[in-house]
């Protein structure tokens, strides 16, 4: 910038009542500060986010599976087992998820699995709106780095967080949808933890997974 232009800019700030510029490095929670081009970089950035969730959790739970997968499964947040091992869906819900995957001819090596929150909420409570807002931009980046064709949202919390909707999972389940921020088709379904309590809904989830496999096979 030429000196004269610089003076104009300075005058503009002074007219606007700005008297003190300390740094042009601002950090707004939920906004990412630097260009992130790899999963490793994203994990590092997420690990540094200042959140009280970290005080109670043992390990960051980032993502697992095939980084080139066409199908991404998005859960809510780690539970005790996931927190212990730093891997998504390794507890009871995870075991059922493996069976659901097997029922449509898939296993973990063919899909990618992550959660809305990378840290276990204390006592497995539901993530707050504030926590979801904080981590949603990173979830979108995570999804962009994997670049799947289809995302299955597991449960109401993941669905609400990704779609930014107030509609419940019963209304949204099985309905293919899209959002501006990502190119993938999104299919909400019930969470495996819910299926453990309500096994009669397993068929619906199986149909949703079949639908996803179909879309993966047909798109692109």
Q: Which residues sit at the interface with ligand URA, rule CB under 6 A? A: 75-79, 82, 88-89, 91, 93, 115
Separation between Cα atoms, residue 165 and residue 142, nearest integer Å: 20
Q: How far is the CB of 12 from ligand URA (least distance, A)?
A: 49
125's tokens: 């409570």
Encoding tokens for residue 4?
Answer: 């004269």
Q: Which is nearer to ligand URA, 11 or 107 (CB)?
A: 107
Measured from the CB atom, the residue of 65 and 78 that comes closer to ligand URA is 78
Least distance to ligand URA from the beta carbon of 74, Å?
Answer: 9
Residue 95's SS3 state is helix
- CB-closest chain residue to ligand URA: 75
Structure tokens at 174: 């099985």
Rounded distance, CA 1 to CA 24, Å?
16
Q: Minimal distance in Å, beta carbon 82 to ligand URA?
A: 4
d(CA 200, CA 25): 53
**DSSP string for 107-126:** -GGGSEEEES-SSPPGGGPP
133 within 8 A of 30, measured Cβ to Cβ? yes
**Min dist. Cβ of residue 160 to ligand URA (A):** 13
Measured from the CB atom, the residue of 124 and 214 that comes closer to ligand URA is 124
Strands across the sheet containing 112-115: 63-65, 112-115, 71-75, 150-154, 182-189, 177-179
Shortest reach from residue 175's CB to ligand URA, in Å: 20
Q: How far is the CB of 92 from ligand URA (least distance, A)?
A: 8
Q: Which is nearer to ligand URA, 70 or 83 (CB)?
A: 83
Q: Which is nearer to ligand URA, 91 or 148 (CB)?
A: 91
Backbone angles phi, psi at 194, to 5 degrees: -70, -40
Q: Directed axis angle between helix 129-146 and helix 39-47, to 10°?
A: 160
**Residue among 165 and 183 whose Cβ is closer to ligand URA:** 165
């Amino acid at each position: 910038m030429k000196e004269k232009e610089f003076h104009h800019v300075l005058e503009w700030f002074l007219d606007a009542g700005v008297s003190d510029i300390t740094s042009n490095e601002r950090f707004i929670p939920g906004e990412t500060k630097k260009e992130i081009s790899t999963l490793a970089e994203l994990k590092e950035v997420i690990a540094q986010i200042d959140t009280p969730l970290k005080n109670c959790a043992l390990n960051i739970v980032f993502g697992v599976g095939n980084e080139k997968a066409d199908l991404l499964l998005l859960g809510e947040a780690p539970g005790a087992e996931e927190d212990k091992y730093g891997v998504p869906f390794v507890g009871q819900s995870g075991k059922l998820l493996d069976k659901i995957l097997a029922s449509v001819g898939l296993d973990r090596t063919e899909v990618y699995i992550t959660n809305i929150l990378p840290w276990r909420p204390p006592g497995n409570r539901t993530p707050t709106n504030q926590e979801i807002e904080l981590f949603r931009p990173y979830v979108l980046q995570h999804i962009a780095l994997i670049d799947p064709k289809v995302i299955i949202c597991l449960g109401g919390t993941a669905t609400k967080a990704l779609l930014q909707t107030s509609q419940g999972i019963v209304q949204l389940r099985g309905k293919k949808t899209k959002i501006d921020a990502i190119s993938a088709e999104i299919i909400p379904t019930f969470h495996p933890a819910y299926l453990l309590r309500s096994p009669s809904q397993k068929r619906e989830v199986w149909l949703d997974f079949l639908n996803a496999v179909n879309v993966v096979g047909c798109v692109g």
